[in-house]
Structure 1
């Protein structure tokens, strides 16, 4: 479907799955525009700080997992008010999701996208 542009294992399949999901979303909802809703309260920064500390703690204790990593990244994104920094955080979230999906696929048969 796409030329080989990806260098990391599983990223091509991940990108194709995202593209298929975006096609379904656009068909169902059309193009959407909403406010970011990020970086608007001190509470969001506090939640991001707490998520970062929790993630560091559980990994230091040997109990960290993908959910901790993703939760930290999402909390950091919700605390960000600068659009360029928010974009960077959202790309980091997508990369964590790609790594998690690749890890899942390495342990099981890759699943087909939900309809």
Structure 2
């Protein structure tokens, strides 16, 4: 069992994300690119990613990369701004959860090393 406090883990992850966003703004300024999403190819890729993720889950071989790839593919397939935003929130949440999992593994390794 991990000794990581969820509040501390969230603070660390979202603090890291906020610092990265500040660095991006410092380097590039405010960015206002077109979305560049949707289209039949992107929708097909999203369907394919979902099928892959479902098959990996059924085989109990699902990896973080599979989950994130599906979420990104779903976002890239979306043309409605509100739905695109919701999909991007899911992308960000999965990425944050993956970072948290990496941090938990690191903490477990540190706990093991201390014994």
The alignment's TM-score, normalised by the length of structure 2, stands at 0.84
The structure with the greater share of residues assigned to helix is: 2
CA contact (8 A) 1:48 1:79 kept: yes
| Aligned mate of 1:107, from 101, 105, 108 | 105
Structure 2 partner of 1:38:
37
* Runs of 5+ unmatched residues, structure 2: 1-5, 108-115
CA contact (8 A) 1:38 1:78 kept: yes
RMSD: 1.4
Alpha-carbon shift at residue 8 of structure 1 (Å): 5.8
Structure 2 partner of 1:92:
90
- The count of residues paired between Structure 1 and Structure 2 equals 102
Structure 2 partner of 1:55:
53
Q: Distance in 2 between matches of 1:20 and 1:32?
A: 17
* Runs of 5+ unmatched residues, structure 1: 1-6, 110-115
